[in-house]
């Protein structure tokens, strides 16, 4: 399957919103994504297949750290490695921008995401109590070193 990854554009937001709405119990609004396009710390990528947006991922970059804000793949395209491809895009870009670490929050019940992050070298560093307001679920905080010396491990490749 051919997939192109590029920076998110304003025109992508309706398709992103459709994926967002079927992926999360409390989806971001289109305005939230518009605001992120104006955020000087934010960078977002989209995955395109046959002229259709099928996934997206974003992060904030500041003080040598990357903080993953969101990642989602359209339900029809899950389980095909697109999440890993998008995460590797974030990791590579963050590394190019000088980030040494990447942090994210994830629902402990989201086993596919946990497995993905662990395969990329993320480790548990803490909890955020009642982080997900709509379900009162805690968030697991995970971190990974992404400095240049960790580039092979970050891509989820065998050592």
Per-residue pLDDT tens over the stretch 115-146: 999 999 999 999 998 888 778 888 999 999 99
Q: How far apart are CA 120 and CA 157, in angstroms?
A: 8
Candidates 105, 131, 132, 137; catalytic one: 105
pLDDT value of position 151: 56
Classify residue 62: in a domain, yes or no: yes
Q: How far apart are CA 70 and CA 60, in angstroms?
A: 10
Asked if residue 159 has pLDDT above 80, the reply is no
Residue 117 appears among annotated catalytic residues:
yes
Classify residue 159: in a domain, yes or no: no
**Length of the chain in residues, anyone?**
159
* Residue 68, token pair as written in the block: 């993953």
Classify residue 120: in a domain, yes or no: yes
pLDDT value of position 130: 82
Q: What is the CATH number of the domain that holds 119?
A: 3.40.630.30
Alpha helix stretches (DSSP H) within the chain: 13-23, 30-38, 82-96, 111-119, 151-154
pLDDT value of position 26: 85
Classify residue 44: in a domain, yes or no: yes
Domain count within the chain? 1
Classify residue 135: in a domain, yes or no: yes
Residue 105 appears among annotated catalytic residues:
yes
Are 72 and 23 in contact, with CB atoms under 8 Å apart?
A: yes
Candidates 20, 96, 117, 158; catalytic one: 117
**Higher per-residue confidence, 24 vs 101:** 101
pLDDT value of position 114: 95
Q: Please state whether the predicted TM-score (pTM) of the whole model is above 0.75.
A: yes
Q: Which domain, by its residues, includes 8?
A: 4-154
């Amino acid at each position: 399957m051919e997939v192109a990854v590029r920076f998110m554009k304003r025109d992508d937001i309706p398709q992103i919103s459709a994926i967002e709405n079927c992926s999360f119990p409390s989806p971001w609004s289109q305005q939230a994504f518009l605001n992120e396009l104006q955020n000087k710390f934010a960078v977002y990528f989209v995955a395109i297949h046959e002229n259709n947006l099928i996934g997206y991922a974003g992060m904030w970059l500041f003080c040598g750290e990357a903080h993953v804000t969101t990642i989602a793949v359209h339900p029809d395209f899950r389980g095909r490695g697109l999440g890993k491809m998008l995460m590797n895009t974030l990791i590579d870009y963050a590394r190019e921008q000088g980030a040494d670490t990447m942090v994210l929050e994830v629902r402990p019940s989201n086993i596919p995401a946990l497995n993905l992050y662990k395969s990329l070298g993320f480790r548990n560093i803490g909890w955020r109590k009642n982080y997900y307001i709509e379900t009162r679920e805690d968030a697991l905080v995970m971190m990974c070193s992404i400095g240049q010396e960790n580039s092979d491990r970050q891509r989820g490749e065998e050592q």
